[in-house]
Every structure is written in C-alpha cells, then in structure tokens.
Amino acid sequence: MNAKIKLENHDAQEIKYTTCYMCACRCGIKVTLEDNKVRFIQGNRNHPTNQGVLCAKGSAGIMKQYSTAKLTQPLMRKPGTERGEGIYEPITWDQALDVLTERLEEIRATDPSKLAYFTGRDQMQALTGLWAQQFGTPNWAAHGGFCSVNMAAAGLYTIGFSFWEFGAPDWDYAKYFIMWGVAEDHSSNPIKIGLEKLKRRGGKFVTVNPVRTGYSAIADEWLPIKPGMDGLLAMSMVHVLLKHEQFDYEFLVRYTNASWLVVQTPGEKGDGLFLRDENGHPLIWDIEKEAFRNGMDGDIAPALFGEYVAPDGRRVKTVMSLVAERYLDARYAPENVALEVGLPAETIERIALEMAHVAFQETVELPIEWTDVWGRKHDKVVGRPVAMYAMRGISAHSNGFHACRAVHFIQMLLGALDAPGNFRARAPYPKPIPPHQLPENNIDIINAPNTPLSRPPLGFPTRPEDLVVDEFGNPLRIDKAYSWEVPIASHGMMHMVITNAANHDPYAIDTLILFMANMAWNSTMNTKNVQEMLRAKDPEEPDTYKIPFLVVIDAFHSEMTNFADLILPDTTYLERHDTISLLDRPISEPDAAADAIRYPLVKPDRDVRPWQEVMVELASRLKFPAFTNPDGSRKFSGYQDFIVNFERSPGVGFLAGWRGKDGTQSLKGEPNPRQWEKYIENQSFFAHHWPDNQKYMRYANKDYLDVAADVGFVGKVEPIIMQFYSEPLQKFRLAGMGLYDGPQPNNQVDRERLVKYFDPLPMWYEPLEQQRVDAKEYPFFALTQRPMFMYHSWDSQNVWLRQIMAQNYLYMNARRAAEMGIKDFDWVWVESHNGKIRCQVKTMEGTQEDTVWTWNAIGKQKGAWGLKPDASEATKGFLLNHLISELLPEKAGERRVTNSDPVTGQAAWFDLRVKIWKAAPGETGSWPQFDTLKPLPGDERYERPEVLRYDARSHEKK
Amino acid sequence: MRLGLVIDLDVCVGCHACAIACKEWNASGTIGPLSDYQPYGAEPSGVWFNRIRHFEMDEYPHNKTVNFPMSCMHCEDADCVTVCPTGASYKRAEDGIVLIDQDKCMGCNYCSWACPYGARELDRASGTMKKCTLCIDRIYDEQLPVEERQPACVLTCPAHARMFGDFDDPDSAVSRTVRERGGFPLMPELNYNPTNQYLPPRRKPVIEVQAKPKGGLKESIKQFANKLVRR
C-alpha cells in the first residue's frame, strides 16, 4: 500500500551511540550515519539522562558537524601583523607543538604561575585540572566563576549537594515544584521530562522569574519578582514557616546543625564559633541527660532551642534559636518585603504555606527499609514532596550565594532533601560540608620550578588559613580567587583573568591558554574594552602585549580565536574520544551513578586534533610526573590510553564502568584494557543503579555511605550534617573584625566586605553594583534569559537553529514601554554606568515592569561563525555584555573591586541597571559595531551557498 | 485509520525540539531535501513542516505565555487537496494522511492559499510544495524498531507534549486522551475537520493552606518548646 513511499536504505546505514555535546546536559544520542554523513541524531531511549528524548540543539547537531565555521588547521598570527587584525598563516601541528612546548618549558622552569589556563564550555575539568596541577600553576579554572559557582558553593557549604549538577528534583514523586529564576541552562531535557510528569500527576509548578518565557510559560503560578530579590523572598518564606511553626522538627534534630551550640561573646575572639569539646566535636545540649554532648553522635536528644552557659562560662545558643531570632524579625515579614520583591504579601505567605501543606499533609511514604549512619534501622522512607530547582537566575547576582543558601533553608525546614518527591542528590554527592579539598596555597610549591602542585588549584576553603595569598595578603592567583576580596571563589574567576592580566594586577603573566571560551565576545563582561585589553601593549616594551602570548583552542572561528597568537583547531564532538567522568561533572541521576564517553563517529576532513589528545601530548613532552615513567619515557600513548590506565587513587579512574582486568567491576577496580570497547558496546554510557535502600537520605544512609567511602566519593563513613549556620563564613568574618587567631586582611575594603557579607546565616543585601548606581538615573533592571534552542550551543554557527532566531530584541513590559512612547521594533539606546548600546525593542506582557531583558549570546561580530558580514546576528543582534563591567563602579579612596559575589566571586551579570531612550529617526542597526573578522586560511574550502539543501542519503539524486 | 497528532498545550514549553527533529528527519527523508535560504546570510529562512508560534494571553501580571506548535492537520475535508490543479495533493484513503506527489506538483501555491493553518510551504529550489507527511517514511518502516515507528517530532519531544495515533480507534491513546482532557481541533468553524487535536491547559491545582499562625511574630521563639526527639 505504500509503494510510493521511499523508505530508508538501511543497508547503507550504520547506527552508533554516543553522548551529545550541544550543551551541558550531556544526553545519550543514537546517531544514524550514511556514507560517513550524519543522517539522523535522536535521543537514546536507554540513557539515564534523556530517556529517548532530545532537544532542538541535540537534533541540530548535524548542522554543527557541517558548520562552515570549523577551523581547519593550526594557525599562527602572521609576523608583523597586530593581534586582533585576524591575519594568520598556516603552520603544521609539529611546528605548533614545538612552539608551545618550548614556551611552556621555559615558563615551567622559571615561574610556573606565568601560565594561565582557563577553559569554557568544556566538560573535562578533571583532566584540565590535573594538567594544570602537574604543570605547577595555580592559574587554572573552568568557567564556573561566571556561571554557577553561587549555586555549587551555597549547596556544598550548606546541604552537601547542590543545584546546578549535583542534585535533581525527584520528578516521580514531587507534588510541588518551585523553579527559582531562569533555569533553562542546565539539565535541559530532564527538567522538561520532569515538568510534564509533575503536571500529569496534578502537581503544582510555581515559577519565580521576572520574565515569563521558557519553562515559566507552563507554570501554574508565575511570581514576577524583581531581579536580585530572590533571597529576600526566600527569607520571608522562612519567616512564614517559622511563624506558623511549619518545620520538620525531627529532620532538623537528626540531619542538620540546628541544635549545635554557638558561642555568644560579641566583640571577643571565638564569638560565633561552635562550642566544641576537646576533640573538636560540636556540642549540643542534651535535654534527657541534661549535659553538653557531641553533636555528631547518634544517641543524643538535643535541645533545638535554647540558651545555655558553657562549662567555661561563655554564653551559647542553639543554631535554631539564632535562626528563629533572625528570620522572625519583622524585617522579613511578607508585608515588609512585598514592595521590594515586587510581590503581594499574601502571595508570599500563601506560597510558603502551600509548600508546608504539601510537605507535611501530603507526605509520601515508601516501604523501603534502610539503616541510618548511626546504625538504626528504619522501616520506611518519608518524603516531603516539595522539590525545587534554581540556576542562573539566582547565581548571577552578587547576593546569590546567600540567596541560594536561603532557598536551602526552606528545604531544610521542610525536611525536603534527598527523599521521595523533593530535591535529591546525584553521585558522587552528597559530600562532607564543604568537601574536603583545599586549593593549593603553599607559595613555595607554587613558585617551585618544574614541580607539580601538591593539591588541585581549586577547592573549598574553611578558614582564612586556606586562602591563596602571600604573606602580605596579596593574591597568588591571576584571577584573585581565594584572596581576601573573594575568599570562597571555588570555581575560580575566569571573568577577571583578561582584565587582571592586562593590568598586571596582581602580576604579569606570559601565556594565556583559553579553551572553548569566547572571552572576546559573549562570555566576557565589558566586551568592547576587553577586546582593547587583548590588544594592549606595554608602554615600556612597545613590542610586547600586556598579555604576551595568547593560545586559543576551539573547533570554530569565533571572536576569541581572532585574537589568538596561536590557534589550535579542535575536533567536533562527533569526531573525538571524550569522557564525562564521575571525577568531574558526572551525568548521574538520583537513582544511578553514571558516566559516559564519546568516540569518533565521523572522520575529520581537516587537519584538526582533539585537545584532549594534544594535552596528553604536551604533558608527555613537558614530562609531567603523572604522565612520565621513572625512566623518563612517556607513560601514555595518548588520551585513550591515559583514560584507561590513569588512576587517581588505586582502582579509581576517569571511567567507573567495566573496571577490573576482566571488566566485571563497577565504580572501582583495576584498569581494564577493554574499557572503551565495553562502553561502546553499552551505548557509550555506564549506570550503577542504586538499590532501594541506598537511594534516599544519603547524607545519613549507612549502606550508601559505605559504598561511597569505598569508591572514594567520600573520605569515610560519617554523617553529613547539613549546615544552617556556616562556621567557615564566621571565621572569615572574625578575620574581618580583627578577632581571628590567624591571618587577617590588611586592607580596609576587605575588612568591611568580610564583616558585611560573611554572615553565617543568609542575609539579603542590595546587589553590589546597585549600591553604587543611582536607581533614579538608571530605572530598569537589565538581564538575559537562556533560549532553550541555543543555550550552551553557541560555539558555532548553526544553519537550522539560526532560523529560529537570528536577531535578539530588548524586551520590555508593554505598559511601561507605552508610557515611554516606545513601540515594537523601535530602536532605542540603552545605557549603564559602563557604556551604551543601541538595539531594537519588542514589548510583551510577561516581563516585570522594572525589568528589560534579551536573549543571551545571539549578537555576533561581523564575519564570526562563518557567517556573511550582513548576517542579522551582527547587524541587528546585540550583546548586553558591553553594559556590564567586570569591576564595580569606582568609589573614592577604594581600589577597584570585582563585580562579583563577595563570598564566591560569582560574576554578577544580572545586577545591571540601565536607562533607555528612543533613538533618533534614522538611528538604526545595533551599536557598537566592530571590524569584520577576516576569513582564515583554509576558509576557501567552504562554499556558503545562497541555498543549502542538506541531504545525507548516499543513494539519492542530489 | 485516521492518523494524526495530539499536542498538549499544558506542557509545551516552546523549545522547538519537534521543529528541528522534523527538519532533521525530513531533510534526508522521502521528500527531502528541505531548502535553507541564506543559510549564512542576512535573513536565514527555509522550508519547515512544523513551526512553533509563541503568544501571550491577558495582561500583566495575569498574562500567560502560550507555545503553539503548528503543522499539517491532515484535515478530513482538506481544501488543499480540492484546489490542487495537478492532482499532486491527495489524501490517502487508508490512513488519512495528506501528501503531495512531488512528481506531479508544479509549485503553484494554490494549496498554501487554501490552507488556513499555514502548513504548506514552497521549496523554491525544487519548485514543489512540501509539508508534514506524519513521517510516513518512519511510521511504515518495518525495519525500524516498533517503538520508533513514530513521527520524529513525537519521538523527540522532551515534554512528551506530542502523541501520535489513530483517531478512528476509540481505544487508541490519542482518542482516549482527547476525551479525557477535552481535546479540541483548531478553528473547527472553517469546517475542514482537522485530524490533529490540541489539549487545553489543565486547571490549576488548588492547595489548601492553614491561614492561622500558631505563634505570633517575635514572640513565637518563646513559645517554641523543646520536644524530646532522639536522633
């Protein structure tokens, strides 16, 4: 009956499974190939992440593979031309590697800190971090400092796991879900799958976001909050829960530090620290035994509230008393925050009480037996089915760390963590709070030539002694992470690297390596000025750039590659081997620890090499100890060999599946020479499904923690007690007050910041930039949203995705725009304290009235991405980035400080305020405009026809 | 059989996954390739069988954003077929799918003018009209695994907002869902009898709350009595 229907020529096709890399979601994909061309990319039904579905980006992978922006060969800036002119000469890989090896050898043998290595959208930080550690430079980080560190740090200093990628809502049992801020950036398919499950079951979806697009479109209730007010809203909800006594008393006693005692000796050393016994254990007051007892023990009956006198005479209070005193204050009453957050008081109260109702009246109980870490058996698991998720919307504010902690307070009060229906941990989390990993800060080791760091460059400080500063308190890192200015910058501060390096502040570097990061365009603040910094030369040495040598590794021709002195062309994700490792940012789901690989499905048609492979090559040439045999020969023949045989600790390597000589061991075991083959046979992923008794309450689940300790997720089996009150923050605050027995800051700016912002309980403060910008002059908040069909996928031009959007607009609330005489498609000027741009407006209802916004990263520099100079991304599209400064506005008598969260160094993208006015008649097109990027050598291979007719079929007429 | 789609407006987040999966499958499918115009130039556009409209209802702050995927409705009384001067447009008796015979089509555009749903597009390079085939080269391909014999848009939809099935079968999932959720066709008043159905947003869940606080502001702290809870 279907004679006329032409079906696939399956005989000419091959099916392979790998892992998507169109964004950070890392879905499993099933790829149909025909004649070495990609016919179809679909979701892998068996994959734990996406369970068969795939987003727009994933399906558009075909057009990434066939992008005409692909770099084709190694290139060197042409001698005699200036950086940024974009004039290059081809060199061979041998030449490129020789040049780079020689330069790196010299740096490593003299002053290893003169190498800075920062990476963007990569998912291989376990390898890049190891490489930097082995090189011996502290100047390494990925892009988390401008992405998600507020979420990661707030979680890891509070609950032991986190939003971002270390936890997920339990979509199978949740009955209430709150999404805080824009969250279309991570976990994209799991959240979409989950929202449908929730709604199908009749659960309620509440969204807190100044803008109603994306997932918020299908929310049952939209709370159009003013930007930057999330923390205040969360704290007001804490107020309501306390006022109504809606908290899980047992949960607080068992799993949090709510009962721990805090020393109350204001103005004295030791104030605000936990009362501890001689072994350092935190103490509680046992109401049965009427004695101070170890707060980690299992057989205690602690007072949750109360004030006591310690044996040494000091006054102490329980954490919960401090929490209640703080948040029951009228400051946090809904009626007193309503105006600031922009929501009616009754809405705030109602939402808090709805959550309480669902948590306590609609509890989920599963008949699963489990044993707690203190050895007691339980015959069921109790779930408070209120789930939450938050990402960029909270993260990108300078008050985001505290805001995110406040959201975790709601979860703790409701007892809604890692149990059925709420927010659950993803292996290898939860970890001790914070994780036991300190950043390298030994100046002798950092300065030692040809010597690896003794610890990774990044970690989780717990006290001033852990800062990465010299004896005078000056930063040892180029990005100033872990300095007094930003003590807990646990993801580094990539957004400060170019500025600091160009200013030689805190010191000059020699070589900057950037991998997969468009730091000359959409991934930097202050784009126009940052481009100037990349061009800047030393006035005293007119032949030397302030950043003397710039190496860029990318697969595509971006604005950043245009500034490189050396371009090393990478492969696409369908052309290389990769690991998505449990040592890094794993793809685990709450019910399974999981990791994955990529392997080449398509043969590169260009002279390109995977950066992984090049890193192993460089590590071998530079004779890093971990890559070199005792006799000086190279230890690994290449990346695949490295992945199989490198062990971080005995039995623990990059891939957790099919370990052991015979491939029968999971999570831990000897290297298996056939490990890659086993992954490929198993559709390129590995999942260790947790048995029911290890699925929940993992912060205190003995059977889970036994496994976690054995395979190295945690150091030992001990309860992970959640931290309402954060003692590490208090230690930094004491240092700011001059009350700390240990290092203290010299600079008044640092002292003030520590005292003000290192509150051990969450606090709300006006975002830092807004404290210095006149709200009357700049009446609008300005921010970006994440387009679901492009987010994290903008490292290349994509013929299909750009048909969905090739120009961004500035979106305004319709009524506000009308009041200003602004109509759809009017061109406007938008100005901040840092600069101005011209862009085109669209009005809409779904935008909070004081907010304007646009889609992130649509605007392009002419000629980038392999697009023609008249592409609308360049002529009409725009970046908000020009308006955002990486430094706070100047303040008299104060050094310039970073425009970041003062606790974590998270880039404060969303603190921006602007003014807007209509452009004069005839003023059209986006502004500023930049020189057109010149085609690179090798570009002549690309046709760029006026009509593209992609067809993967080998047997059809074209 | 009367094959078609159900689209759930309650959960469609407007992510365009269905549109791209459709483009990707059909580019190399039975009536591919699908031309892309100015793919690298000023105003990129191209042939798509499935486009997502976004619009708003009501006024701030009571506004709602609606994402509305639209493709061929495979109408029972399809005017696009009636108006076709060459007989290229036809509706299959066996399953109701409306197709265009690419060998007969001369690209005159009559059908696209007749279609109120904007489902038909001229491929300027082939000079023929093209539109959704319900992935006829998937759903009848017995070499595909059974669970994959579905339109690409349905397979991929991350929010599971799309269903495919036989509306003639009252027990099919699509028929049942339309009954249970009050599914409706788009613009029935035009009398084209579209096969595809849309599911309206569900009613908002109502959660009761206890309005009366137990404690009273700052004084609450004094009322909090310690309970004997052993860890």
What stretches of A536-624 show up as alpha helix (H) in DSSP? 611-621
Judging by beta carbons within 10 Å of its beta carbon (0-12, 13-18, 19+), is residue A363 exposed, middle or buried? middle
Is the per-residue pLDDT at A292 higher than 50?
Answer: yes
> Is 3.10.450.50 the CATH classification of the domain at A152-428+722-726?
no
Cα–Cα dist A581/A685, whole Å: 10
Instruction: Please give the structure tokens belonging to residue A677.
Output: 């083959």
Q: What is the total residue count of chain A?
A: 958
Instruction: Please give the structure tokens belonging to residue A817.
Output: 């725009």
Domain limits, chain A: 152-428+722-726, 773-941
In chain A, the residue whose alpha carbon lies closest to the alpha carbon of B60 is: A845
Give the pLDDT mean for A32-54: 97
Is the per-residue pLDDT at A87 higher than 60?
Answer: yes
B12, B24, B42 member nearest A59 (Cβ): B24
Architecture category of domain A773-941 in CATH:
Beta Barrel (2.40)
B17 near A CB under 8 A: yes
For an interface test with B, give the residue of A25, A949, A958 to mutate (most B CBs within 10 A).
A949
pLDDT in tens, A708-725: 999 999 999 999 999 999
What stretches of A30-110 show up as alpha helix (H) in DSSP? 56-59, 61-65, 93-110
How close A865 comes to chain B (CA, Å)?
9
In chain B, the residue whose alpha carbon lies closest to the alpha carbon of A324 is: B221
Give the pLDDT mean for B46-64: 97
Judging by beta carbons within 10 Å of its beta carbon (0-12, 13-18, 19+), is residue A641 exposed, middle or buried? middle
- Residues 611-640 of chain A with CB under 8 A from chain B are none
Calculate what percentage of chain A has a pLDDT beyond 70.
Answer: 99
CA dihedral B133, B137, B140, B144 (to 10 degrees): -140
Indicate yes or no: pTM above 0.90: yes
Quote the longest CA-to-CA distance of chain A: 93
pLDDT in tens, A463-474: 999 999 999 999
Confidence at A877, pLDDT banded by 50, 70, 90: very high
> For the stretch A573-611, what's the b/e string if a residue is b when 16 or more beta carbons lie within 10 angstroms of its beta carbon?
bbbbbbbbbbbbbbbbbbbbbbbbbbbbbbebebebbbb
List chain B residues with CB under 8 Å of A55: 15, 17, 156, 158
- Are residues A803 and B60, on separate chains, in Cβ contact within 8 Å? no
CA dihedral A757, A763, A769, A774 (to 10 degrees): -130
Give the pLDDT mean for A663-692: 98
pLDDT in tens, A412-459: 999 999 999 999 999 999 999 999 999 999 999 999 999 999 999 999
- Residues 27-66 of chain A with CB under 8 A from chain B are 34, 39-43, 45, 50, 52-60, 62
pLDDT at A957: 46
CB of A183 closer than 8 Å to CB of A390: yes
Interface contacts A/B by beta carbons within 8 Å: 298
What's the mean per-residue pLDDT of chain B?
94
Give the pLDDT mean for A819-847: 98
Confidence at B217, pLDDT banded by 50, 70, 90: very low
Span between the terminal Cα atoms of chain B, in Å: 63
pLDDT at A531: 98
pLDDT in tens, A764-782: 999 999 999 999 999 999 9
Confidence at A956, pLDDT banded by 50, 70, 90: low
CB of A653 closer than 8 Å to CB of A646: yes
What stretches of A637-712 show up as alpha helix (H) in DSSP? 639-645, 675-681, 702-710
Is the per-residue pLDDT at A1 higher than 80?
Answer: no
- Residues 266-325 of chain A with CB under 8 A from chain B are 287-288, 297-306, 321, 324-325
CB of B152 closer than 8 Å to CB of B21: yes
In chain B, the residue whose alpha carbon lies closest to the alpha carbon of A6 is: B30
Q: In the CATH hierarchy, which fold is given to the domain comprising B3-199?
A: Alpha-Beta Plaits (3.30.70)
pLDDT at B225: 78
- Residues 346-385 of chain A with CB under 8 A from chain B are 350, 353-354, 356-358, 374
CB of A491 closer than 8 Å to CB of A141: yes
- Residues 165-194 of chain B with CB under 8 A from chain A are none
pLDDT in tens, B67-113: 999 999 999 999 999 999 999 999 999 999 999 999 999 999 999 99
How close A244 comes to chain B (CA, Å)?
4
Beta strands A140-141 and A685-689: pairing type?
unpaired
In chain B, the residue whose alpha carbon lies closest to the alpha carbon of A67 is: B40
Cα–Cα dist A83/A792, whole Å: 27
pLDDT at A797: 83
Cα–Cα dist A274/A293, whole Å: 13
Give the pLDDT mean for A127-134: 98
A892 near B CB under 8 A: no
For an interface test with B, give the residue of A33, A62, A845, A951 to mutate (most B CBs within 10 A).
A845
Helix (H) or strand (E) holding A802: helix A801-804
pLDDT at B161: 98
What's the mean per-residue pLDDT of chain A?
96
Judging by beta carbons within 10 Å of its beta carbon (0-12, 13-18, 19+), is residue A450 exposed, middle or buried? middle
pLDDT in tens, A550-606: 999 999 999 999 999 999 999 999 999 999 999 998 899 999 999 999 999 999 999
Cα–Cα dist B226/A465, whole Å: 37
Confidence at A824, pLDDT banded by 50, 70, 90: very high
B39, B124, B221 member nearest A328 (Cβ): B221
From the centroid of its chain, how far is CA B156? 12
- Are residues B218 and A847, on separate chains, in Cβ contact within 8 Å? no
pLDDT at A5: 83
Judging by beta carbons within 10 Å of its beta carbon (0-12, 13-18, 19+), is residue A274 exposed, middle or buried? buried
For an interface test with A, give the residue of B10, B13, B102, B143 to mutate (most A CBs within 10 A).
B13
Cα–Cα dist A299/A310, whole Å: 21
Which of A869, A835, A888, A796 has the alpha carbon at shortest distance from A571? Answer: A796
- Are residues A299 and B207, on separate chains, in Cβ contact within 8 Å? no
Cα–Cα dist A6/A936, whole Å: 41
Is the per-residue pLDDT at A502 higher than 50?
Answer: yes
Quote the longest CA-to-CA distance of chain B: 86
Which of A374, A266, A275 has the alpha carbon at shortest distance from A319? Answer: A275
List chain B residues with CB under 8 Å of A350: 209
List chain A residues with CB under 8 Å of B158: 50, 53-55, 188-189, 192-193
Place of tokens 């001689």: A278
In chain B, the residue whose alpha carbon lies closest to the alpha carbon of A343 is: B61
- Are residues B137 and A202, on separate chains, in Cβ contact within 8 Å? no
From the centroid of its chain, how far is CA A113? 25
Residue A893 CB contacts under 8 Å (≥ 6 apart), including other chains: none
B53 near A CB under 8 A: no
pLDDT at A792: 83
List chain B residues with CB under 8 Å of A50: 158
At residue A811, the 3 state secondary structure works out as strand
In chain B, the residue whose alpha carbon lies closest to the alpha carbon of A814 is: B60
Is the per-residue pLDDT at B215 higher than 70?
Answer: no
pLDDT at A82: 97
- Are residues A7 and B152, on separate chains, in Cβ contact within 8 Å? no
In chain A, the residue whose alpha carbon lies closest to the alpha carbon of B27 is: A951
In chain B, the residue whose alpha carbon lies closest to the alpha carbon of A944 is: B40
Is the per-residue pLDDT at A671 higher than 90?
Answer: yes
- Are residues A204 and B14, on separate chains, in Cβ contact within 8 Å? no
pLDDT in tens, A213-245: 999 999 999 999 999 999 999 999 999 999 999
User: Half-sphere exposure of residue B62, counting CA atoms within 13 Å on the CB side?
Assistant: 2
In chain A, count H helices and then E strands.
Answer: 26, 37
Place of tokens 């995705």: A801
- Are residues A948 and B36, on separate chains, in Cβ contact within 8 Å? yes
In chain A, the residue whose alpha carbon lies closest to the alpha carbon of B208 is: A354
A5, A40, A305 member nearest B25 (Cβ): A40
B1 near A CB under 8 A: no
List chain A residues with CB under 8 Å of B55: none
A217 near B CB under 8 A: yes
Confidence at A890, pLDDT banded by 50, 70, 90: very high
Cα–Cα dist A546/A531, whole Å: 12
Cis peptide before A464 (omega within 30 of 0): no
List chain B residues with CB under 8 Å of A951: 27-28, 32-33
- Residues 107-146 of chain A with CB under 8 A from chain B are none
- Are residues A59 and B41, on separate chains, in Cβ contact within 8 Å? no
3-state helix, strand, coil in chain A (%, to 5): 30, 20, 50
